[in-house]
Structure 1
Amino acid sequence: MAKNKNLYRLLLICGIGLFSSFSGDPVRDRVQKAYTAEIGVREKTGHNDGIKVETYLHYVGLPKGNPWCASFVCWAYGQASVKNPKSGYCPDLFASRYVIYKRGIKINNEAPQKGDVWGLYFPEKGRVAHVGFVDEWQSKYVITVEGNTNDAGSREGDGVYRKRRLTKSIYVVANYIDKR
């Protein structure tokens, strides 16, 4: 009887493992779980502070008070065991080997997907100055999850939000998940 129970457990475990391998990319699912769990996090005083915000900043070696959108992205990747630059500087997330989309053009015909990181270009800064996660890429819109933003989509906001942005507003996308 004990042998039958053990055999049953083994078959059940194998079956679950087999099923989960067909239910999507487990790494992308872990990344998505990490970043969506943070939706609703808010700064304590509106000055890039608070327990969770400071956790994101600490992950990349920065003190409270610093902008934290890139820190949030790197922290979420770290929670899902995805190698990342561990940087709070937005341009560091777009090393050429990871870039799959730039200025409306897919590179190597790769389409952005959940868990990829996107960046917005700010001409006044001359660089990408706000980043977040692709949660769903559509032809006209991207559903995002991003830190240090607000309801208006600012790059200097107060929390982690799910947003809807125009696809054409996205300057660059990087894939850290498949480029491991």
Structure 2
Amino acid sequence: MATMYSLFFGVLFLAVLFLGGIGNSAIEREVAEDQPRSMAMGARPGQADRTENFRENIVNIAVQEIGIGEATGNNDGKRVEEYLAYTGLGKGYAWCAAFVSWCYGQAGLPVPRNAWSPALFPMARRYKKEQVEEDAVRPADLFAIYNHRLRRIDHVGIVRKIERNWILTVEGNVADRVVSKRRAVSAIYAFSNWLD
């Protein structure tokens, strides 16, 4: 029986991860067909600081949500359900990745748009270890927390500010609300960049 559960959840995990990647790829392709890639990723031709404006806007949107909480502690509540709906889910689901996606969407960006936190860290978007050590991580990048029991990323949030070996964050679904936390860079499993 335990083998059947493992097999079922393994197949389910791969399907969700695969379909989540396809969903983001399809959205990215759809946007890219309508405009040059640089515009689809948030930058406009001839405006080098456009990406920085998106970064600032995303962080500001996230900061304005600090304090928003669940209604009953069951992944519910008007605003929480808006975050989930943005990624196609209803109340009752974990919402940290939906919150991040919603913030990017409010800034006018079509991706990421996924409620599955591992899907927000594809290798093509992850910072390499050397880049993290060279302080390449910037505001509005995403950070991941790894759960050893689950053997996967199970929490995501937005980098608000970098302070030497620490980051200041904005993240949803922590103690049933949107919070700002100070986290050691050494405790972060991965960082991803959806803007460059």
Cα distance in 1 between the residues matched to 2:141 and 2:153: 15
Aligned to 1:167: 185
Cα deviation for residue 22 of structure 1 reads 7.0
Cα distance in 1 between the residues matched to 2:188 and 2:132: 14
SS at match of 1:27: helix
Q: Does 1:122 align with 2:140?
A: no
Cα distance in 2 between the residues matched to 1:110 and 1:176: 17
Cα deviation for residue 139 of structure 1 reads 2.3
Cα deviation for residue 77 of structure 1 reads 0.4
SS at match of 1:54: helix
Q: 2:195 aligns with which of 166, 171, 177?
A: 177
Q: Does 1:79 align with 2:79?
A: no
- Give, as a single letter, the amino acid of the residue that structure 1 aligns with 2:147: F
RMSD, matched Cα? 2.3
Any idea what the Cα deviations from partners look like across 1:30-77, whole Å, max 9, x if unmatched? 111111110110100111000000000000001100000000000000
Aligned to 2:39: none
Runs of 4+ in 1 over 4 A off after TM superposition: 21-24, 107-110
Identity within the alignment, %: 37
Over 3 Å counting, the alpha-carbon distance change for 1:76 and 1:24 in structure 2 is closer
Aligned to 2:79: 52
Bigger fraction of residues in helix: 2
Q: 2:173 aligns with which of 148, 154, 162?
A: 148
Cα distance in 2 between the residues matched to 1:110 and 1:136: 12
Question: What TM-score do you get using the length of structure 1 for normalisation?
Answer: 0.77
Over 3 Å counting, the alpha-carbon distance change for 1:78 and 1:92 in structure 2 is same
Q: Does 1:131 align with 2:156?
A: yes
Q: Report matched runs for 1:5-154 at 5 Å.
A: 25-101=52-128, 104-106=129-131, 111-149=136-174
Q: Which moved more, 1:54-63 or 1:80-89?
A: 80-89
Bigger fraction of residues in strand: 1
- Give, as a single letter, the amino acid of the residue that structure 2 aligns with 1:140: N
SS at match of 2:118: helix
- Structure number with greater Rg is 1
Question: What TM-score do you get using the length of structure 2 for normalisation?
Answer: 0.71
